[in-house]
Amino acid sequence: MSDSRSILSQPEWRIVDQSSLGPQFHALQSFAMDDTLCTTVGNGTSTATMRSWVHHNTIVLGIQDTRLPYLKQGVEFLKKKDFHVIVRNSGGLAVVLDEGVLNISLLFQETDKGIDIDLGYDTMWHLIKEMLKDYPVHIEAKEIVGSYCPGSYDLSINDKKFAGISQRRIRGGVAVQIYLCATESGSARAALVRDFYNLAIQGEETRFTYPEIVPGTMASLSELLGEEITVQDLMMRLLQTLQRFTPQLTPSQLTVDEVPLYEHHLQRMIDRNNKALVLEK
């Protein structure tokens, strides 16, 4: 864990907090933000950055999900449940974002030695363990079969997944992203994704193996810790934890130079989604 600790120990952390922007903040904007920051951190015009974000009632699909045989029926089902549906620009599969889910992105410059994939994941795992270290629980990183968007760095307590980690790399920049289910029912979120896949597959053979979701494999931190732990609580813990690794936290938004880059990435996300989800709006 010492390597992940050293990556968290930055001379300065730039903080871009978008966790309280409300329902008008669209997930397409989020992925454009991370690509922008990943680029500027990668080319050295920005220091290491932590971005936090929350989206209301949004299902984020992965590229593989766009190949589902009955995608249209699945998306229509989600829209009837009042969920926005977008396709992200990275791997993985469908995840649920709502106001009880905190997302965190850590953006680093790849050093000469390089930050390998596992070290990126380990760093986020270490951060979350530090944030929650006053709770008497063991946080494991392993695949939770039956969860949505399963991966080898699912974070779980007592074999129930509460978070998933992904990574994206752009020209010397590394973005490690996590969603943390803070409140509400983890199994209800999982049941929604299960129903989406059932409608979008309808028993057909698919070239890609989609997860068979078992809702009981997922829970929120509030459920697992036996007390309400809100997105705001997690934000406070996140900032306090980062403060232990750095002499300086600098609140920030996009710089004047980053705005055109952001607009470019946002347009790419919009175009990608228009192509991937050729469905009635």
Of residues 200, 189, 187, 164, the one with CA closest to residue 67 = 200
Residue 76, H or E segment: helix 71-80
* Tokens 């449940």 -> residue: 81
By the 10 Å C-beta count (0-12 exposed, 13-18 middle, 19+ buried), 254 is classed as middle
Give the span between the Cα atoms of 199 and 184, in whole angstroms. 24
* Tokens (6 digits) for 263: 């607009």
For this structure, is 181 an active site residue? no
Catalytic residue among 128, 149, 178, 234: 149
The residue type of 253 is Q
Distance of CA 147 to the CA centre of its chain: 15
Across the beta sheet with 13-18, the strand order is 140-141, 155-157, 160-170, 173-181, 101-109, 49-53, 13-18, 249-251
Q: Which residues are catalytic?
A: 149
